[in-house]
């Protein structure tokens, strides 16, 4: 069964940093577009980053641009999300997901979601 597994979440003070990692079971991540989404209680799932299969193109919404960085580690078969200057509004469960083709903002365009990792930015 193809799976994605997220790790690296936790509790951090506002202004702090976390690094999330998305690992794959039974397939190679660099064959796919990989995106990170987040979902806070009572809110819709929101895309926060996406990287092309080549790694040459990345996408961020304005809400995280300049603070979040997505990258591929081909040796480890992971896609990481470095999150700096975290704000309380970044608190959510973060998911990674995959698709063929190009980055798209709609969660419905993706398949094979991980179980999520909780990120909490609070003092």
What is the pLDDT at residue 26?
79
The closest of 123, 48, 116 to 83, measured between CA atoms, is: 48
Residues 118 and 95: their CA atoms lie apart, in Å, by 9
Residue 64: how many other CB atoms lie within 10 Å:
23
Local confidence band at 101 (pLDDT 50, 70, 90 cut-offs): very high
Q: Give the pLDDT confidence of 40-88 residue by residue, as tens digits.
A: 999 999 999 999 999 999 999 999 999 999 999 988 999 999 999 999 9
For residue 59, how many C-alpha atoms fall within 13 Å in the half-sphere facing its CB?
A: 14
Residue 99 has pLDDT above 80, yes or no: yes
The residues facing 25 across adjacent strands are: 3
E strands in 1-123 = 3-7, 10-12, 18-25, 33-39, 46-51, 58-59, 68-73, 78-83, 92-99, 117-121
What is the pLDDT at residue 48?
98
């Amino acid at each position: 069964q193809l799976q994605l597994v997220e790790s690296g979440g936790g509790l951090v003070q506002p202004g702090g940093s976390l690094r999330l990692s998305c690992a794959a079971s039974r397939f190679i991540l660099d064959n796919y577009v990989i995106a990170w989404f987040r979902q806070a209680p009572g809110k819709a799932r929101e895309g926060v980053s996406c990287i092309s299969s080549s790694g040459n193109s990345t996408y961020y919404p304005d809400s995280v641009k300049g603070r979040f960085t997505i990258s591929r580690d081909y040796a480890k078969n992971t896609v990481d999300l470095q999150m700096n200057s975290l704000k309380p509004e970044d608190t959510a469960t973060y998911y990674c997901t995959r698709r063929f083709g190009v980055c798209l903002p709609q969660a419905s365009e993706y398949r094979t979601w991980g179980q999520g990792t909780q990120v909490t930015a609070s003092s």
